[in-house]
Chain A
Amino acid sequence: MKTGVKILIVMVPFLGLAAGCQTNSVSTTEPFRQIEKLSTHLVRGESTREQVLSIFGEPSGTGSSIFPPDHTRYEVWFYEDIEATNEVQPYSNVYTGQSLDPSLANALYMVIRQQWLLVFLKDNTYAGYLWSSNVGEIEGKVYSL
């Protein structure tokens, strides 16, 4: 699901580009976050929400969670970092140099960096996190935009 969702998200500005709406080559949320500070600057059960804010800034979104076995309710802060660069390389892969099918002459070649970070808080205190990151590539073809 997640990959499909992200493909959808990053495709939007690039579809706009293909449609002649944009002339830009990079789409991004914000600069890459300093994820290592999760382990060097935050302590579970001790660090405050203000300390989390000072490191990661305002979250992109919020929510809640209840997990077994204790079913404790946590506040959830959601952070996301996306940067997508379209490289117009219709005939070759920019990394491998491998030739592509000439029929992909209208292809958009994208390099995507993405992170998700969920921070869990209990009683205004940092309680844990869930983090994922990937760097991927998407090749798409625009037919009639």
Chain B
Amino acid sequence: MKTKMMMLGIVVAVGSCLSGCMRITYGQLPRVDALNRLVAGETTSAELLMELGEPRGRGVYHFNPDQEPRELWQYEYITAQSSITNTNIDLSMLWILIKEDRYDGHLFFDAEEKIRSH
């Protein structure tokens, strides 16, 4: 009986391992609730840092040649959970545009995706 219980425990442990093979997290979840408090042309970079934290990346936004390039701050977060048959991915991406040290716009989206294997 004791041996059977041990075997059952091993099977459960191995099964749990196989059902959740790997989990990877990348970045930090953007504080998107702060977006509604940002005002274009008014919110300063210092206030952005307070609201959103330090960005993971920085760049330049220049879509319209008639406008000056904007500084771009990037926030992102990904978590991926892999199991036997598929991978679930949660993705959040936030770009903040800054002009002359003031918030000037943003792009945000998040998604939940399932990648299946066959």
In the bound complex, CA of A16 to CA of B80 (Å):
12
Query: Shortest beta-carbon distance, A32 to chain B, in Å?
Result: 14
Contact A61 B91 (CB under 8 A): yes
Contact B115 A82 (CB under 8 A): yes
Known contacts A27-B117, A65-B105, A67-B97; A13/B87 CB under 8 A: yes
Contact A12 B87 (CB under 8 A): yes
Total residues of chain B contacting the partner, CB 8 A: 43
In the bound complex, CA of A20 to CA of B117 (Å):
14
Contact B117 A22 (CB under 8 A): yes
Total residues of chain A contacting the partner, CB 8 A: 37
Segment with Cβ contacts to A, from B5-13, B20-28, B46-54: B20-28
Contact A12 B24 (CB under 8 A): yes
In the complex, what residues of B have CB within 8 A of residue A80's CB?
91, 111, 113
Contact B89 A64 (CB under 8 A): no
Let me know if B65 is at the binding interface, CB within 8 A: no
In the complex, what residues of A have CB within 8 A of residue B63's CB?
67
Partner of B117, one of A26, A63, A68, A69: A26
Partner of A16, one of B22, B26, B114: B22
Contact B105 A21 (CB under 8 A): no
In the complex, what residues of B have CB within 8 A of residue A66's CB?
40, 105-106
Q: Using A68-B70, A76-B108 as known contacts, list a sample of 12 further A-B pairs with CB atoms less than 8 Å apart, ordered by residue number in A.
A: A13-B117, A16-B22, A21-B84, A22-B117, A26-B118, A27-B87, A28-B118, A63-B93, A64-B108, A71-B40, A71-B104, A80-B91
Name 10 interchain pairs, CB-CB below 8 A, sorted by A.
A8-B80, A29-B113, A61-B111, A63-B107, A63-B109, A65-B107, A66-B105, A71-B40, A71-B105, A78-B111
